[in-house]
Amino acid sequence: MRIRSAIFSLGIAAACTGLTATTAAAYNDSDLDWETWARWTSDCRNGEYNDPCAVRTPGELDGTFFKHDSGGKGIKLVMYKGSKTIAQVEFHPYDEVLHVYDGVNDGDTVYVRLRWNDDYSPGDDATYWAPGTSASVDHHSIQLDGDDDIDEGNTVQLRVYDDKALNDPITDWYYLKA
């Protein structure tokens, strides 16, 4: 459920030759709304009374509890189409975990692109999404620290797209901290 730029370019080549008979479904941007909750995880109290990092909202697909992590900045993003919650995205600085949810069986989904830097090397870039199964809510959690070497304190840029080819962004970039 992730692509790197090398694989991604193969995807473009396939599309240009017309091999992709099934055109990816697309949302109309004007139909979509979203809310975000960003939290500095230095402030998180791990579930103690009045923990500012326990984020609940009526339209959510899952409750969100950010754990304490010094210097981290996490985000919860819930995306709506009318009364339906079509997607939810969470970046958790503690252990560097990304969660992507698809909340509607509508033949469509969203793609979450992350960019980050390892020390002073060029920025890394990967895209993640939830599988589109018949389940009412699909969930993909990704251990970024293990898989992708996002180091403690690195800036992580997150943006949500409508398409796997990353031509149709829905949101702006969000700037987070691992």
List residues near Ca ion by CB under 5 A. 69, 72, 93, 102, 104-106, 108-109, 133, 135, 138, 152, 162, 178
- Three-class SS state of 167: coil
Closer Cβ to Ca ion, 33 or 152, answer by number: 152
Closest CA to 112 of 154, 157, 155, 147: 157
Pick 72 or 126: Cβ nearer Ca ion: 72
Going through 23-173 in order, the beta strands assigned E by DSSP cover 32-40, 54-55, 64-65, 73-81, 84-92, 97-102, 111-117, 123-128, 138-143, 155-161
Smallest distance, Ca ion to C-beta of residue 97, A = 9
Residue 68 has phi, psi (to 5 degrees) of -60, 130
Min dist. Cβ of residue 80 to Ca ion (A): 13
Q: Which amino acid is at 61?
A: L
* Of residues 67 and 126, the one with the C-beta less far from Ca ion: 67
> Taking the complex as a whole, how short is the minimal distance between the CB of residue 6 and Ca ion, in angstroms?
23
Least gap, CB of 93 to Ca ion (angstroms): 4
Question: Which residue number, 110 or 126, has a Cβ lying nearer to Ca ion?
Answer: 110
